């Protein structure tokens, strides 16, 4: 397949090492005939726009900006999330747990790696790793500290163990200074880790 070497070189120089590896793998799969470029583009688009943390961020942002939706999300997360069009694999039985000044929630799957793909996308490697799955239950405060999240001593930590029947979404606290923000703008403050509980929502100004 012809290509402009200078263009590819300039583009690659702006990519991270991981992105470069992914790009090389994509090229190899296409070159060997294992996957059609159109199918690969469709798959990537699906995970970027239809499955992934962006979906969960929109759910959280709507809950922050719409009290009625928040109440519904806490009462029946599966239906509330589905109302936004986010359904599918490992997202059939959802429960939302809300962070408050007195309680922080952390999600883990101790037996395997059950994870709500429809709202959070593919699970991160560390979520599936045995150290996280065991230590999140035994020493949640220590695990959070390793993620850079140090909570006040008087903040209780609730650990929720996902199963094949139930998967959890953490509703992080809305950052201060976001009064009057639109749901779309609020969604930019919601990170994947804040919806698992290993992080909190970004502060205003933290996004580019």
- Per the model's pLDDT, the better-predicted residue between 17 and 69 turns out to be 69
Element containing residue 41 per DSSP (H, E): helix 37-45
Q: Indicate which CATH number applies to the domain containing 75.
A: 3.90.330.10
The answer to whether residue 112 is catalytic is yes
Q: Are residues 130 and 55 in the same domain?
A: yes
pLDDT, position 118: 86
Do 112 and 157 lie in a common domain? yes
Q: State what percent of residues in the chain have pLDDT above 70.
A: 78
Range of the domain at 128: 51-196
Cα–Cα nearest to 161, from 110, 91, 100, 96: 110
Higher pLDDT, 18 or 30: 30
Rounded to whole angstroms, the Cα distance separating 161 from 145 reads 19
Residue 106 is predicted with a pLDDT of 98
Confidence at 18, pLDDT banded by 50, 70, 90? low
Domain shared by 41 and 55, yes or no = no
Rg (CA), the chain: 19
Q: What is the mean pLDDT of the chain?
A: 85
> What integer pLDDT is reported at residue 1 of this predicted model?
42
What value does the mean pLDDT take over residues 173-177?
A: 97
Average pLDDT, integer, range 33-44: 67
The 10s digit of each residue's pLDDT in 43-60 is 555 555 555 789 999 999
Q: How far apart are CA 28 and CA 194, in angstroms?
A: 35
Are 9 and 90 in a shared domain? no
Out of 27, 83, 113, 158, the active site residue is 113
Catalytic status, residue 113: yes
Residue 37 shares a structural domain with residue 115: no
Note whether residue 76 is domain-resident.
yes
93 and 147 co-located in one domain: yes
pLDDT digits (tens, 9 = 90+) for 71-126: 999 999 999 999 998 886 555 789 999 999 999 999 999 988 788 888 998 888 89
Burial class of residue 91, CB neighbours in 10 A (0-12, 13-18, 19+):
buried
User: 35 vs 26, 39, 51, 169, CA distance in Å?
Assistant: 9, 7, 21, 34
pLDDT of residue 29: 72
Q: Give the model's pLDDT for residue 6.
A: 38
Does residue 45 sit in the same domain as residue 55? Answer: no
> Residue 48: its pLDDT value, please?
52
- pLDDT number for residue 11: 41
Quick one: 75 and 114 in the same domain? yes
**Global pTM?**
0.77
pLDDT for 105: 98
- Spot the catalytic one: 27, 65, 83, 109: 109
The answer on 55 and 44 residing in a single domain is no
Indicate if 118 belongs to the active site: no
Q: Which among 114, 162, 187, 194 is annotated as catalytic?
A: 114
Burial of 32 (0-12, 13-18, 19+ CB in 10 A): exposed
């Amino acid at each position: 397949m012809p290509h402009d070497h200078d263009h590819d070189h300039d583009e690659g120089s702006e990519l991270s090492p991981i992105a470069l590896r992914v790009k090389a793998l994509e090229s190899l799969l296409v070159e060997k005939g294992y996957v059609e470029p159109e199918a690969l583009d469709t798959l990537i688009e699906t995970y970027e726009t239809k499955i992934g943390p962006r979906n969960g961020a929109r759910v959280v942002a709507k809950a922050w900006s719409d009290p009625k939706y928040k109440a519904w999300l806490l009462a029946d997360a599966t239906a509330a999330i589905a109302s936004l069009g986010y359904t599918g694999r490992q997202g059939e039985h959802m429960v939302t747990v809300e962070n408050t000044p007195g309680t922080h929630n952390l999600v883990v799957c101790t037996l395997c790696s059950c994870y709500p793909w429809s709202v959070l996308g593919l699970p991160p490697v560390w979520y599936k790793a045995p150290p996280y799955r065991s230590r999140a239950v035994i020493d949640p405060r220590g695990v959070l500290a390793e993620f850079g999240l140090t909570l006040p001593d008087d903040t209780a930590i609730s650990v929720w163990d996902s199963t094949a029947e139930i998967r959890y979404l953490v509703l992080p606290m809305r950052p201060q200074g976001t009064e009057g923000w639109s749901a779309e703008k609020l969604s930019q403050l919601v990170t994947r880790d804040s919806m698992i509980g290993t992080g909190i929502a970004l502060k205003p100004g933290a996004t580019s």
